[in-house]
Structure 1
């Protein structure tokens, strides 16, 4: 009997699962745009486009990143749809997009990337976007009269959450890179062989 792990780890099965997630993101894009959530609609569209990019460029539908990496990027979209963890979902979304970009660079290019650099890249990208978002909210409060930033403490916690999410996504990426490296090396030789 074939194990589920063996079925999912195959390149063809991975492509099917990844394309299913891209289709889900396309539906989420339309749903978000129809319900007035343009920012989330744009995010879902960007994630779908970035995920499909290697397959489109190479004209090979089987050339997709691992479905697990793409599933991490769909979690914030699902959470937003149900109104769950909206603040954290925003930073998970940014970290997931950085995770996809690094995973695609690692898998589909000749670039050599040390695991520590990949972790730092994902964490720093998430923290940078969070800081930019904070500046945008401050400018909106100052010049448009909105009240996005209520206290300095809330802003600091926002940045702490974003950094923590970025570090967690970076750790997930390190696991992905190490797993990819061990699967590319093949099975370990037997002792004494």
Structure 2
């Protein structure tokens, strides 16, 4: 058993179990309080945490097998704030530190009770991404409740910009908690005895389904265009981007110049990867990437303002690229190492978490660029238009991830396997 895995994080000690069950009992009491107060959102959240904490003892049929009490305490603190203080929970770094702790508990339980395998380094990365994703999903759900049910979780009468600023601050808190929690948990992992217990069940790593002898489908063969036409289309979009760049330079339009230059540079990345690292980039994949950056750069010339759906289309398409990158990475790690494995049935969840976290980071980047430009009295290269725009972006990020999960992953097998071969080659020379 690799000493870097999660197998020893379900201790079978009476002291750990005593504290763990005590925390569960207190949380069950808070369920009664939240139900009596009609705070059914808190009831749902608390019940979910209790269920997650009780998975190990019920699975092993041993009350001594509980998650580490330190993690249970961190998770419980924000949940106890509402019933014992009489005030709603203020979303801050402490709250998202609890989310990070709960994500780590989930990572440990996935490793113990499913075919998923994680090293502690991979689990910490999962914690950081999950914390950011939860921040995004939480605000999306509140926004939908306000729009559909007339609540005022987010849309409380303030301006779109003011609400959006608060949400960005919440995203910062989530990021700080995620990264801070990752550092704390890394120290925690290294300080504990991680030797596996007698009851630890680590399922054997199955062979990936796509290791079959059949050749993976090619994206270029499914687009309805010949590979030659696909390459020509990519070249045409590069030419238009060059024209947009020249126009931006002539007009001294900084946002257009920055977006066109970056988009044009990205369109040459596939060729660079293929030439320098021998990664397969078929014409369909190149067209996919080029179209995403082309539409974004073109949008900055006025289409974002004049075409209402332009922003949603570009976000979904860009998110699909991020999802593809996430899939290629996860699958490459799957093939490269025996100590990390994500089964096909779970791959979609990991891709969605990856894309939602990337979406939150992108919104923070947009906000930072927009704010910095305002402070320097410059034209913003990236602009946010309020909370509605932010939430729509996050929703279509998720849609892009789902599209890749359901349709696109089969076409990325060659790329992922080539990345894995590169990793194997590097580890073999070290």
TM-score, with structure 1 as normaliser: 0.77
Corresponding pairs, count: 176
- Confirm whether residue 170 of structure 1 aligns to residue 182 of structure 2: yes
Within a 5 Å distance, the mapping from 1:1-193 to structure 2 comes to 11-81=13-83, 82=85, 83=87, 86-88=90-92, 90-105=95-110, 112-147=117-152, 148-149=154-155, 150=158, 151=162, 152-180=164-192, 182=193, 184=195
- 1:190 alignment partner in structure 2: none
**Pair 1:90–1:27, CA change in 2 (3 A):** same
Structure 1 spans left out of the alignment, 5+ residues? 1-8, 186-193
The whole-number CA distance in structure 2 between the counterparts of 1:143 and 1:99 is: 33
Instruction: Tell me: CA distance 1:30–1:144, structure 2 relative to 1, closer, same or farther (3 Å).
Output: closer
CA RMSD of aligned residues (A): 2.7
Q: CA, structure 1 residues 140+25, in 2 after alignment: closer, same or farther (shift >3 Å)?
A: closer
Q: Residues of 2 paired with 1:26 and 1:46: CA distance?
A: 11
Please give the alpha-carbon distance, in whole angstroms, between the structure 1 residues aligned to 2:151 and 2:32: 28
Change (3 A) 1:157 1:15: same
Displacement, 1:21?
0.8
Query: How far apart, in 1, do the equivalents of 2:151 and 2:19 lie?
Result: 42
In structure 2, the CA distance between the partners of 1:62 and 1:108, relative to structure 1 (3 Å rule), is: farther
| Offset of residue 131 of structure 1 | 0.8
Structure 1 or 2, whichever has the larger Rg, is: 2
Instruction: State the alpha-carbon separation in 1 of the partners of residues 169 and 51 from structure 2.
Output: 31
TM-score by length of 2: 0.37
Distance (whole Å) between structure 1 residues aligned to residue 52 and residue 77 of structure 2:
16
Q: Following the alignment from structure 2 to structure 1, what is the Cα–Cα distance between the partners of residues 149 and 113?
A: 44
User: CA contact under 8 A between 2:57 and 2:63: conserved in structure 1?
Assistant: yes
The answer to whether the 8 A contact 1:99-1:169 is kept is: no
Q: Distance in 2 between matches of 1:170 and 1:63?
A: 24
